[in-house]
Chain A
C-alpha cells in the first residue's frame, strides 16, 4: 500500500491522517497506486472493488480536497447540508460515510439524476431549491455538522453566509470557490482574496488549498462559523 509520491496526500501508512472514517485508499484493478474510495452503491459507472467505489478527484472537488491532503474535519456520521449537488456525484460519496445528506440543487435536469442516486440511498435527501433563499428549505433541513458548498455561481461568499444558519456552532464549512464564476476577467488569486474577505464576516478560515491539477482556478476552503 505504501507509495512515496511527494505530491500525494497519502503517506507510508497508505492513508492520510486527514481521511474521514469511511473514506480510504484502496487498490483497484488496473491501477498501480491505491485510489480514493468510499463504500456504497455505484452511481455513475465508476470502478468498484467489492463494496468499494472509486472516488475520482477529477470529477469531484471534495475528492480532490482529500487527494490534496486537506483536513476536512469530518469523522464520518455527520449530518451534512450540500449546496450545489448537481447530479449527485460527490453527494453520493459523502452519503456513503455521513449520517445524512440534504442535497440542494436548483437546475431541473441534474435533479432528475440526483433523485436516481437518492433512490438507492436512504440517507440522501434531494431538494429542488435555490441556495440563495435558505428560507425556502429551512422547514425541511435540520441543523447540520457540515456545510459543503460547490455552487459555481456568482456570489459564492454570500451563499455560504446565508446558509450559516444551518451550521452548528462547532460545525465546519467545506467550500470550493470557482474563480471564473465570480469574474472571468480578474486574476483568480485576486478573486479568491475578495471572496475570502467576504467569508470572514461569518466564518473563521482554517485552511485553504488550490485544487490544481484536478480543478483549475478553484480554491478549497475549510472554515468554522464565528
Chain B
C-alpha cells in the first residue's frame, strides 16, 4: 500500500478489520516503528478510514480499548505475581532450612564433622557415599542446596517486582518488606486503603497465634518490626518509630496505587522524623 516504506513503518491499522478491537489492541501493544508517519493519511489511502475524522474515531476506540484492557491486566497481574513470588520465596527458604536441619542430623549419624545449615548441607554433597544410606543423605543435601539457590532467585525476582509494582513503598520499606505488606493486605489496592494504624500491626496476627500456641511472646508490632528504623531504635522510642514509619509507608502505598509517581522526598522526610525520634530525650 505504502510503496517504498520499509516493513517497520507499518501503521497500527495495517491489515486490521474495522471494529476488531482485540486485533487493534494487539497491533498497538506489539507493533513498533522507528519513526512516526502521517498515519491518518495512510489509513485513508489504505481504505481503513474515510477521512481524518473517521480515522480519529477508529483510533480513539482502539486506543481506549487497548489502554483499558492493558492497564487492567497489568494491575491485576503485577501485585498478584508479587504475592505469589514472596510466598514461594518464604516457603523455599523455610523448607531449605528445615531440610538442612534434617540432613545435618541424619548425616551426623553417618559421617564425621557435620555442620548445620545450608553450608553444612553443601559440604555433605561433596562426600563420597559408601552405601545406599549415605547416598540418600548426600542426595537430600543436594536438594537443599538447589532449593536454597531457587530461594535466592525468588528473592531477586521479588525485589525487582516490588520495585515496579510499588516504587515508593519499596524505596521506603525495602523491597522485601514492601512485598510482605502487600501480601499481608492481599494487594496494593487494599494496602493503600488501610489506615496507617492497621499497617503498623500487619503481620502481628501470625505472631499472635504463635503467642497463643505458647511459642512466642505477645506481639507489639507487625512485620514492620523487621525495618531497621524500628528494630534499631531503643525500646522506649520504638512505638513512636513504628508509628512514624507506618505513617510514611501508608502514604507511599497510596501514591503507588493512585498515581505511580515517584516521590524521593518521602525518604528524606522519614529519615528526618526518625532522626528526631532517636535523638529526643538524649543530651
**Highest count of chain B CB atoms <10 Å: which of A108, A153, A165:** A108
- Asked if B64 and A118 make an inter-chain contact with CB atoms under 8 angstroms apart, the answer reads yes
Q: What residues on A are CB-neighbors of B39 within 8 Å?
A: 139-142
- Asked if B259 and A180 make an inter-chain contact with CB atoms under 8 angstroms apart, the answer reads no
- Asked if B74 and A122 make an inter-chain contact with CB atoms under 8 angstroms apart, the answer reads no
In which size bucket is the chain A interface? 35 or more
Cα-based distance from A141 to B34 in the complex (angstroms)? 11
Of A123, A128, A141, the residue contacting B36 (CB under 8 A) is A141
- Which of B25-33, B151-159, B196-204 faces chain A? B25-33
With contact pairs A107-B260, A122-B57, A123-B56 given, residues A139 and B72 touching in the complex (Cβ less than 8 Å): no
Interface assignment of A152: CB less than 8 Å from any CB of chain B: yes
Min CB distance, A63 to chain B, in Å? 17
- Asked if B71 and A108 make an inter-chain contact with CB atoms under 8 angstroms apart, the answer reads yes
In which size bucket is the chain B interface? 35 or more
- Asked if B71 and A138 make an inter-chain contact with CB atoms under 8 angstroms apart, the answer reads no
Cα-based distance from A107 to B255 in the complex (angstroms)? 12
CB neighbors of A among B86-145 (8 A): none
With contact pairs A86-B261, A109-B260, A181-B262 given, residues A165 and B67 touching in the complex (Cβ less than 8 Å): no
Min CB distance, B270 to chain A, in Å? 13
Cα-based distance from A107 to B37 in the complex (angstroms)? 26
- Asked if B259 and A139 make an inter-chain contact with CB atoms under 8 angstroms apart, the answer reads no
With contact pairs A86-B259, A118-B63, A135-B33 given, residues A112 and B68 touching in the complex (Cβ less than 8 Å): yes
Interface assignment of A136: CB less than 8 Å from any CB of chain B: yes
Interface assignment of A160: CB less than 8 Å from any CB of chain B: no
Cα-based distance from A81 to B205 in the complex (angstroms)? 49
7 additional A-B pairs beyond A86-B260, A142-B36, beta carbons within 8 Å, are: A87-B259, A111-B67, A115-B64, A128-B70, A128-B71, A142-B38, A180-B265
